[in-house]
Homo-oligomer: A and B are copies of this chain.
Amino acid sequence: MVDIQTRDVFAFMRSDLLQVEERLEQSAKVDFPFVSDLILGLVRAGGKRLRPIILLLSGRTHDFDHDTLLTAAAGVELLHTASLVHDDTVDRAALRRGRPTLNSMLPSGAVILLGDYLFAQSAMLAAATKSPLVVGIFASTLADICDGQLREMFVAHRLDQSLEDYERRIFGKTASLFAGSAEMGAIIGNASETEVQALRKYGTDVGMAFQIVDDVLDFREGTEQLGKPAGHDLTQGTVTLPTIIYASGLSNSSSAHARLQDVVSGNSDEPGEVERVVQDIRDSGALDASLREAEKFADRAKAQAGVVTDQETQDMLVEVADFVVDRSA
C-alpha cells in the first residue's frame, strides 16, 4: 500500500492541480462566448499537467508561498497551451489530443490572436508572482521555445542534420519549458543556488526524454491513440531522432535513402510512400534505439533529483521521470 501511494504523484498532487485548473479557467475566459468555449475546451483537454507538477514539486524544497507556486504553475501550463495553439497553426494540424484544433475551426487570423491572448494571460500569471527572477525565466523560456520552433521550421527538414542539431531544437521546443518550470518552482520555493541549478537540469532532462518519446510515438501510433495520424512528423518533412538514426544506417546511394529523401522533401507523389518509409523505420530498430536515448535522459534526471532532501518530493520527481519514458511501454 505504502509503495502504491508514494508512487502515485498524480493522486498526491490532485488537490493542488484542481486549484491550478481553476486559475487556468479564469485566465482562459474571453468576452466572446463562442471563442471562450473553444479555449476552455482546449485548456481542459490538457493532459497530465506535467509542467505544473514539476514546478510544484520543485517548489516544495524549503519555505514556499503556496499561492505563488499555484499561480506560476498555471502560468507555465498556459504558456504551453498558447505555444500549442500557434504550433498547430504553423503545422496546419487538424487534431491535437484527439480533438479538432482551433486551427481547424477558426480562420487562421483568429487563431493567431487567440494564441497571443493566451500568451498575454500566461505573462500576467508570471507577473503576478511579483518575482523579477521568475518573470525573467518566463520570458527567456518563451524566447527558447520560439528559437526551437524556428529551428524546426528552417533546419528540421535536413536529413544530414546531427544529433546536436536535433537536441538543440527539442531543447528549445520542449525541454526549455520543463527546465523553466523546475527553475521557477525552485526559486519560489527559496531553494539554494545549487538546488535551483540541479532542478533546472532535472527539468531539462525530463523534457528531452519527453520529446524523444513523443517523436517515437509519432511513428508508432495512429489517430486513435495519439490524436493525430502516424508518421505525421515525416509527412510534415520534420526529421526527428528515429529518422536520424535510421538515415545514419543507410547508404546515400540506396533506394531506401532516396525514398526517405523524397518523403522528407515533400516530393513524393506516390500514395503509400510515407507509410512505407514509416514501416521501414519501425523495422530498422531506430525506435528502440531512440527510446534508449530517452531513458538515458530520464536516468540523468533521476540522478539530479537526488539534490532534493525531502524524500517524498525526491521520490515523486523520480516518478515523473519514469512516467515520461513509461508512456512508450
A262: CB under 8 A from chain B?
A: no
A135: CB under 8 A from chain B?
A: yes
Q: A136's contact among B35, B90, B110, B127, by CB below 8 Å, is which?
A: B127
Interface 0/1 of A276-287, CB less than 8 Å to B = 000000000000
Shortest Cβ distance from A292 into chain B, in angstroms? Answer: 30
- Residues of B near A128 (CB, < 8 A) are 136
* Cross-chain contact B127 with A112 (CB below 8 angstroms): no
Q: A120's contact among B90, B112, B120, B143, by CB below 8 Å, is which?
A: B143
Interface 0/1 of A85-97, CB less than 8 Å to B = 0100111100000
How many chain A residues sit at the interface, stated as a range, is: 35 or more
- Residues of B near A131 (CB, < 8 A) are 132
Distance, CA A35 to CA B154, complexed state (A): 10
Shortest Cβ distance from A199 into chain B, in angstroms? Answer: 20
Copy number in the complex reads 2
- Chain B residue at minimal CB-CB distance from A106: B153
- Residues of B near A151 (CB, < 8 A) are 31
* Cross-chain contact A114 with B150 (CB below 8 angstroms): yes
Shortest Cβ distance from A126 into chain B, in angstroms? Answer: 7
Distance, CA A193 to CA B132, complexed state (A): 22
- Residues of B near A89 (CB, < 8 A) are 108-109, 112
Q: List CB contacts (< 8 Å) of A125-161 with chain B.
A: 126-132, 135-136, 138-140, 142-143, 145-147, 149-151, 153-154
Distance, CA A196 to CA B57, complexed state (A): 39
Q: A117's contact among B117, B146, B154, by CB below 8 Å, is which?
A: B146
- Chain B residue at minimal CB-CB distance from A154: B32
- Residues of B near A142 (CB, < 8 A) are 116, 119-120, 123
* Cross-chain contact B86 with A153 (CB below 8 angstroms): no
* Cross-chain contact B135 with A127 (CB below 8 angstroms): yes
Chain A interface mostly helix, strand, loop or mixed? helix
A38: CB under 8 A from chain B?
A: no
A289: CB under 8 A from chain B?
A: no
Interface 0/1 of A196-237, CB less than 8 Å to B = 000000000000000000000000000000000000000000
Given that A135-B127, A140-B124 are known contacts, is A146 also in contact with B90, CB under 8 Å in the complex? no
What are 21 contact pairs spanning A and B, CB under 8 A?
A: A31-B147, A35-B154, A89-B108, A90-B112, A108-B108, A109-B153, A113-B149, A116-B119, A117-B143, A117-B147, A120-B140, A120-B145, A123-B135, A124-B136, A124-B139, A126-B135, A127-B132, A127-B136, A127-B138, A132-B132, A132-B135
- 3 closest Cβ contacts across the A-B interface? A90-B109, A123-B139, A120-B143
Beyond A117-B146, A124-B136, list 4 extra A-B contacts (CB 8 Å): A30-B150, A86-B116, A120-B145, A123-B138
